[in-house]
Amino acid sequence: MTSERTPRTRDTRQEQARTPDKWVPQGMLPVPDPQDGWVFRWIRTSARGNSDNSNVSKKFREGWRPVNGADHPELHATSDLDSRYPDGIEIGGLLLCKCPENVMRQREQHYTNVAERQLSSVDQDYMRQGDPRMPLHKPERRTETSFGPRVSRGDS
């Protein structure tokens, strides 16, 4: 009554190693590992084969700087062959850049102030058209979503 069994010495943990749950396709642009104090963004350097020097120049003046490919080996990316930024990471006319986080906070605050001034101007223009016979109410800037009353199926 001997049975043919596989010896335990042939079982290895490598065979039992967990495989990934699910394969997902990668995006066209790799995402760099986050770094404290820095914000990353892909900047357009060309479109349809034509250089976009004005866009790159504007972004550089805003504080964006090209990321050195050697600083981010996890991206496994190389620059385009005809790139003007050979040490950078450029894919399909987009250059990976970084900017200090505090500069981006200042930029966000600037555009928030611009939007608030525009809304204030629109409100003032609206209120100027008021008539004492039919007063206007100050605009309310609040959004609310509701789906109607909830009805129980047993109430009918």
pLDDT tens digits, 98-138: 999 999 999 999 999 999 999 888 888 877 777 777 677 77
Residue 36: both structure tokens together: 């404290």
Query: Would you say residue 74 lies in a domain?
Result: yes
Question: pTM for this one?
Answer: 0.62
Name 141's Cβ contacts closer than 8 Å, sequence gap at least 6. Answer: 119
Query: Would you say residue 139 lies in a domain?
Result: no
Query: Would you say residue 49 lies in a domain?
Result: yes
Name 34's Cβ contacts closer than 8 Å, sequence gap at least 6. Answer: 40
Query: Would you say residue 66 lies in a domain?
Result: yes
Query: Would you say residue 155 lies in a domain?
Result: no
- State pLDDT tens for residues 31-46: 888 889 999 999 999 8
Domain that holds residue 80: 32-100
pLDDT at 15: 53
Name 79's Cβ contacts closer than 8 Å, sequence gap at least 6. Answer: 69, 85, 86, 87, 88, 89, 90, 91
Query: Would you say residue 127 lies in a domain?
Result: no
Q: How many CA atoms lie within 13 A of 148 on its CB side?
A: 2
Write down the mean pLDDT value for the chain.
81
Q: How many domains does the chain have?
A: 1
